[in-house]
């Protein structure tokens, strides 16, 4: 008699998904910082070089700047201090600044993300085998390419979000439309893909780690707590 599929456990998925998120951040966070720095750098003046010549130049300068800043005064003592000061300055709207742009990024990109991952898992599963039996290398490849497809969709709204969230209050009264108009006017359509190299260098390993972490955690939970 064929094995019956196990019922889905929301708690196991929650725990395994959280572990996958930890894996993604651990692998991908340094390049995420570089991505935001590249996206928010001001346009260079005529005859002047840009602030960052590329991904690796940004990484080097960011590292040097953070080492120098470690001995000086910082604007925020941590995430809670940052949230408190944002709330004091702008209220609840300050904390949720850029929400619409985040939705414009994450709704289509997340759809592409999971669609690609499930599609590739089915392609990589040998005939007669179950998707749950997929090997770790194939999970890594499926997760990595899912990340690349996710960010191929997400980069333009992510650039707009980064610009909008780091702008001084009142600079963009009409929201993302003002950001989009200014970017295209001053820097051209290619400015919507600022940080592309950093994003793509990060996308494959970070998201491969995310999905591998999720699948490994699910297998461990199914072994350790089969009745959960």
User: Is 19 within a domain?
Assistant: no
- Residues 212 and 114 occupy one common structural domain: yes
Please tell me the total count of domains within the chain: 2
3-class DSSP assignment, residue 221: helix
Please state, in angstroms and rounded to a whole number, the distance separating the CA atoms of residues 210 and 114: 12
Residue 176 has a CB neighbour count (10 Å cut-off) of: 17
Residues 149-204 pLDDT 10s: 999 999 999 999 999 998 888 899 988 899 999 999 998 999 999 889 999 999 99
How long a stretch of residues is the chain? 228
| Over residues 193-222, mean pLDDT | 93
Structural tokens at position 197: 């190299």
Please state, in angstroms and rounded to a whole number, the distance separating the CA atoms of residues 78 and 88: 15
Structural tokens at position 163: 């610009």
* pLDDT for res 1: 43
User: Is 5 within a domain?
Assistant: no
- Residues 108 and 149 occupy one common structural domain: yes
Domain range holding 84?
A: 28-41+48-95
Instruction: Pick the last residue of a domain from 61, 77, 95.
Output: 95
| Over residues 142-150, mean pLDDT | 96
- Residues 67 and 118 occupy one common structural domain: no
Please state, in angstroms and rounded to a whole number, the distance separating the CA atoms of residues 228 and 175: 46
- Residues 101 and 91 occupy one common structural domain: no
Give, rounded to a whole angstrom, the gap between the first and last alpha carbons of the chain.
24
3-class DSSP assignment, residue 220: helix
Instruction: Pick the last residue of a domain from 76, 95, 114.
Output: 95
Residues 76-101 pLDDT 10s: 778 899 889 889 988 998 888 889 99
- What's the pTM? 0.81
């Amino acid at each position: 008699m064929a094995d019956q599929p196990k019922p889905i456990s929301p708690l196991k998925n929650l725990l395994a998904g959280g572990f996958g998120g930890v894996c993604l951040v651990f692998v991908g966070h340094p390049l995420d910082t570089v991505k935001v720095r590249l996206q928010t750098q001001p346009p260079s003046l005529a005859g002047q070089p840009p602030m960052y010549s590329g991904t690796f130049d940004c990484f080097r300068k960011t590292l040097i700047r953070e080492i120098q800043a470690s001995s000086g005064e910082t604007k925020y003592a941590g995430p809670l201090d940052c949230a408190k000061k944002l709330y004091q300055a702008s209220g609840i709207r300050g904390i949720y600044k850029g929400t619409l742009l985040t939705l414009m990024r994450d709704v289509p990109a997340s759809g592409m993300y999971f669609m690609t991952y499930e599609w590739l898992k089915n392609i990589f599963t040998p005939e007669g085998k179950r998707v749950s039996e997929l090997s770790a290398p194939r999970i890594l490849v499926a997760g990595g390419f899912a990340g690349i497809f996710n960010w191929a969709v997400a980069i333009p709204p992510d650039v707009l979000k980064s610009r909008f969230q780091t702008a001084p209050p009142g600079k963009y009264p009409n929201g993302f439309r003002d950001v989009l108009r200014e970017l295209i006017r001053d820097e051209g359509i290619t400015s919507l893909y600022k940080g592309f190299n950093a994003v793509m260098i990060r996308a494959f390993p970070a998201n491969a780690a995310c999905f591998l972490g999720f699948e490994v955690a699910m297998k461990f939970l199914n072994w350790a707590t089969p009745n959960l």
